[in-house]
Chain A
Amino acid sequence: MVRRARGPPSRILYGVIELQHLTKRYGGTLAVDDLSFKVEPGHVTGFLGPNGAGKSTTMRLILGLDAPTSGRALVNGRAYTSLRRPMREVGALLDASAVHGGRSAYNHLLSLALTNDIGAARVAEVLAQVGLAGVARKRVGGFSLGMKQRLGIASALLGDPGVLMFDEPVNGLDPDGVRWIRDLMRSLAAEGRTVLLSSHLMSEMALTAERILIVGRGRLIAEATVAELTSRYPSLEDAYMALTAGSVQYGAAR
């Protein structure tokens, strides 16, 4: 099952995510509050925070799905919505269950690929890469959560983008799958890509990520390397607990 991302990419994968005073308000709740940070290429950046801290909202804002109340989210210096073939620059997995259960995995991916002039050959390639080649023609409705996660990761990889975002990709995966994700994330970053990864599994994050961003109540709480955090605290988990104490609230959950 364990597959490595394919050999050295032919084009420059350099990519940056940059938030400038990003703010999003839903009615009376501030989901994202004046958030500014930069995610750089070459390593996996862990995106941590309690439920409702604004991680998913931030990712939606980066993808232009939600409009910021103020501030900007830029990918490679541009707003996502201004990209002509966005999947070739940014790949994202937000919600693995966002698939039409009646469609086959192949058709689901191909319908996304076609919008960005990505060919059927590439669809077959990513299906093989995530280990779904054998069930490519099966209805997605019959997939397990783990298979849906793999399908979601495949959709993020379709455009061979320099910037990748994954929201809780480990959910529902078996131990084999968890290790596969870890290796995949690290190899994508090693190829020079920018990888933003959110997860609640601290031990897993400590193994995968090099830099950590922690948010709470929509604000940036900490930005550090895993090494820095684990030198100051007994473990990444202890660092997380200490830093987010007082930030656990669900007001911004959506």
Chain B
Amino acid sequence: MKAAVSSEWLKLRSVASTYHTLGTAALTVLLGVGWTLYVSALADERGSLRAAAPEQGFLPLVQISLAVLGVLAVTSEYATGTIRPSLAAVPRRGTLLLAKAGIVGLTTFTAATTILLLTYSVSRLLASGHNLGFNTTPLADDLPSLLASSLSATALALVGLGLGTAIRSTAGGIVSVVALLFVLPGIANYLPSPWNTRVATLLLPNIVPQIVGARLSSRLGDGFLPPWAALAVLCAYPVIALAVGYVLLKRRDA
């Protein structure tokens, strides 16, 4: 297992797409700076205003970039054919998938946490002296939300890995995480009440607010899940996706 993990770590480090996806996610820090400067300038004009926190506003960018990283971790093996040498070297398919999951999980959690904390700190530094609505709470109060956000990005990356394994296609894998992150929530929004909130409460983008006990949105109101249940649902996503990926990987010819 340790051997497979170190191999997966090398595989991830040695392709450019990893740096592209991480770089795209890290754009959040720069965007956060621009954002904070912009709303600070507006606040100077208008006295004060309520703006969304940049680490929340740009979270979808972090989530989707890291999800693509998760998808590519396996679909690039299918696209190039390296899945066969990989499986010849590690014939126990569960070991291979678990090693990939471990590396993708660790990498994306580290990346997401770093990016979100950096965005948070830089924006609070730049915003000091202004009242922007998002910079009034102490870090201790914001920490659960930051952690839940990076967990959600990690979960999505692992979902991408699981579904990528099941679908074996880069396009298909990306589309499925996009569906989970954007399309389904978009459609759930339009369901007639109360079904919109009932469905939305289980969807990925709405899990983070429920973990920290916040409202989903002005349209959807409060979710139905207590924090521990929201955390359980968040974990269920990657577990189910990886389980589906594992069963198919195990049963199919490579």
Whether the Cβ atoms of A81 and B3 lie closer than 8 Å is no
Answer yes or no: B16 CB below 8 A from chain A CBs.
Answer: yes
- Specify which of B4, B10, B76 is in contact with A110 (CB 8 Å cutoff): B10
Is B189 on the interface with A (CB-CB < 8 A)? no
A23→B98 CA distance, assembly (Å): 31
Number of B residues, CB within 8 Å of A: 27
- At the interface with chain B, which of A37-45, A57-65, A125-133, A193-201? A57-65
What per-residue 1/0 map shows which CB atoms of B82-107 lie under 8 Å from chain A? 10111111111000000000000000
CB distance from B3 to the nearest CB of A (A): 5
Assembled-state Cα–Cα distance A82/B90 (Å): 10
| A residues 65-84 touching B (CB-CB < 8 Å) | 65-67, 80-83
Q: State which of B14, B80, B89, B90 has its C-beta within 8 Å of the C-beta of A98.
A: B80
| Chain B: minimal CB distance from A254 (Å) | 9
Task: Annotate A110-149 by CB proximity to B: 1 below 8 A, 0 otherwise.
Answer: 1111111100000000000000000000000000000000
In the complex, what distance in Å separates the CA atom of A111 from the CA atom of B80? 15
Q: Please, how many residues of chain A have a CB less than 8 angstroms from a CB on the other chain?
A: 34
Interface string of A71-102 (1 = CB under 8 A from B): 00000000011110011000010110111111
Quick check: is A235 within 8 A (CB to CB) of the other chain? Answer: no
A171 at the interface (CB under 8 A from B): no
Q: Which residues of A contact B82 (CB under 8 A)?
A: 98-100
Neighbouring A residues of B7 by C-beta, 8 Å? 111-115
Q: Do A66 and B254 contact each other (CB < 8 Å), given the known contacts A98-B81, A100-B82, A115-B4?
A: yes
A116 B84 Cβ-Cβ under 8 A: no
CB distance from B84 to the nearest CB of A (A): 6
User: Is the CB–CB distance between B84 and A107 below 8 Å?
Assistant: no
What separation, in Å, do the CA atoms of A94 and B76 have in the docked complex? 18
- Give the number of A-B contacts (CB < 8 Å): 86
Check A102–B254 contact: CB distance below 8 A. Answer: no
Check A80–B80 contact: CB distance below 8 A: no
Q: Chain B residues near A36: list those with CB within 8 A.
A: none
Contact B85 A107 (CB under 8 A): no
Q: How many Å lie between the Cα of A6 and that of B229 in the bound state?
A: 61
Partner of B6, one of A67, A98, A100, A114: A114
Contacting A at CB under 8 A, from B237-254, are: 253-254
- A-chain residues with CB within 8 Å of residue B86 when the two chains form the complex: 112, 115
**Interface: B113 (CB within 8 A):** no
Using CB atoms, name the residue of chain B closest to A95: B81
Q: Is the CB of B14 within 8 A of A104?
A: yes
**A139 nearest in chain B by CB position:** B16
**Among the interface residues A103, A104, A116, A155, which one has the most CB atoms of the partner chain B within 10 A?**
A103
Binding site for B on A (CB under 8 A): 60, 63-67, 80-83, 86-87, 92, 94-95, 97-104, 107-108, 110-117, 155
Nearest 5 Cβ contacts at the A-B interface:
A98-B81, A66-B253, A114-B7, A107-B14, A81-B91
New A-B contacts (18) at CB < 8 Å, excluding given A98-B85, A115-B7: A63-B88, A64-B91, A82-B91, A86-B91, A92-B88, A95-B81, A95-B84, A98-B81, A99-B80, A100-B15, A100-B76, A100-B82, A107-B14, A110-B10, A111-B8, A111-B11, A114-B3, A115-B89
